[in-house]
Structure 1
Amino acid sequence: MKDWIDSMDRAVLSMGMLRVFGGSVELIAAFTILYLNDIKKALAVNSVLATVGPIILISTMAIGIIGVASKLDPIRLVLVVCGVFLILLAVFK
């Protein structure tokens, strides 16, 4: 297992670990909401969770773009950045 992790691309490993962290936060929040069993407290937990998701998304995208920046020609890199911008625009609007 250690050899498999050592052979992975660092950017891919970082992106995967961020997603594992984000999923863990989502699960913990879901169980917390169920445990609290109060609508006001559930909304508070959900509002905190609403800030974590976009932060994970932006961080993962940034790591991915940095990882492929050296492998793409400038035109394709601009297209990737525009695509990420459109995704973020759709998420936040």
Structure 2
Amino acid sequence: MFFIKEKIVVGMALIRILSCMIELSAAILMLKFNKVETALKINAVLAFIGPLILMSVMALGLFGVAGKMPSSKMFFIILGVLFIFYGASKG
């Protein structure tokens, strides 16, 4: 199937698969309850979980490249991640 060389990549993929399962479960629950109010509550929980998943995957990725990259490049990557969160928080 796949030749897996990096354990960090496996961890990142597993977190994303977990995220997918949570999203799919939430969609099924929305259909099961069939109420707008309940669907909004479920969606609010997803809005909290999404950024946690993003931060977890990003942290694993940064941990994986920390020793392989010069600190100046690492600084710019971390700065870019901070800009993503800043831009996402200002609506």
- Tell me the TM-score normalised to structure 1 length: 0.90
**CA RMSD in angstroms, aligned pairs only:** 1.3
Counterpart Cα distance in 1 of 2:5 and 2:31: 37
Runs of 5+ consecutive residues of structure 1 not aligned to the other structure: none
Distance 1:49 1:91 in 2: 15
Please give the secondary structure, in 2, of the residue aligned with 1:25: helix
- The total of aligned residue pairs comes to 90
**% identical aligned pairs:** 36
Which structure shows the higher helix fraction?
1
Shift >3 Å, 4+ stretches: none
One-letter identity of the residue aligned with 1:44: K
Structure 2 unaligned segments of length 5 or more: list them. Answer: none
Does 2:27 correspond to 1:35? no
Post-superposition shift, 1:35?
A: 1.0
CA drift at 1:91: 1.9
Normalising by structure 2, what TM-score? 0.92
